[in-house]
Amino acid sequence: MNRRQFFKLCAGTAATSAIAALGMMPTVAQAATREFKLTSAKETRNNCCYCSVGCGLLMYSRGDVSKNVEASLFHIEGDADHPVSRGRLCPKGAGLLDFVNSPDRLKFPEYRAPGATEWTRITWEDAFKRIARLMKDDRDKNMVAVNEQGTTVNRWLTTGMLTASAQSNEAGFLTQKFARGLGLVAVDTQARI
């Protein structure tokens, strides 16, 4: 390297450092844009609903519902303070935004009458009443109090229950108490889905 080439190299390095110091390097500029995007958003903590790991989420929405503006969720990322996942999400969790905003997402209970081709939206009250009615009728009809040997078993084998694997320990404990108290044996979660 001759003297002229050396001075050119020094000048180029100094210019690059000055640009970085002014916040004009691409990485610095991108980080600033991202921060600006989230600055006025509402932040909500939640858990990923897909599997039993239960990774923590930070969900960002905009829209002040008090002014008749519909809230919309526009960004989801891992929660760095979550004790389970420490900010990490697998590809399924990282794609949750599409799931939440999907036009095909089921948001309300629906009922399809026998023989009908269309689903009809019903209220949660109607849904709970119908579920309770069907459970009671089936349990009254099929509950097994004693087995062939005369041992008390109190088991109900004709209905199963699918619960949520991302629940807290306390919610899981209550769910088991409820299900086993009814005599249900087939209880599972979506942990292996």
| Residue of closest CB approach to ligand SF4 | 93
Confirm or reject binding of residue 48 to ligand SF4 (CB under 6 A).
yes
Among 25, 51, 122, 164, binds ligand SF4 (CB under 6 A): 51
Phi/psi at 111 (nearest 5 deg)? -135, 135
Confirm or reject binding of residue 76 to ligand SF4 (CB under 6 A).
no
Torsion of CA 154, 193, 51, 163, to 10 degrees: -20
Least distance between ligand SF4 and beta carbon 47 (Å): 7
| Residue linked to tokens 């960004």 | 75
Confirm or reject binding of residue 58 to ligand SF4 (CB under 6 A).
no
Sheet holding 72-78, edge to edge: 42-47, 56-62, 72-78
Residues 105-144, mask of contacts with ligand SF4 (x by CB under 6 A): ----------------------------------------
Residues 79-108 that bind ligand SF4 (CB under 6 A): 85, 89-90, 92-93
Confirm or reject binding of residue 59 to ligand SF4 (CB under 6 A).
no
Among 41, 53, 100, 161, binds ligand SF4 (CB under 6 A): 53
β-partners of residue 60 are 43, 75
> How many CB atoms within 10 Å of residue 127?
14
Residue 191 burial by Cβ neighbours in a 10 Å radius (0-12, 13-18, 19+): middle
Residues making contact with ligand SF4 (CB under 6 A): 48, 50-51, 53-55, 85, 89-90, 92-93
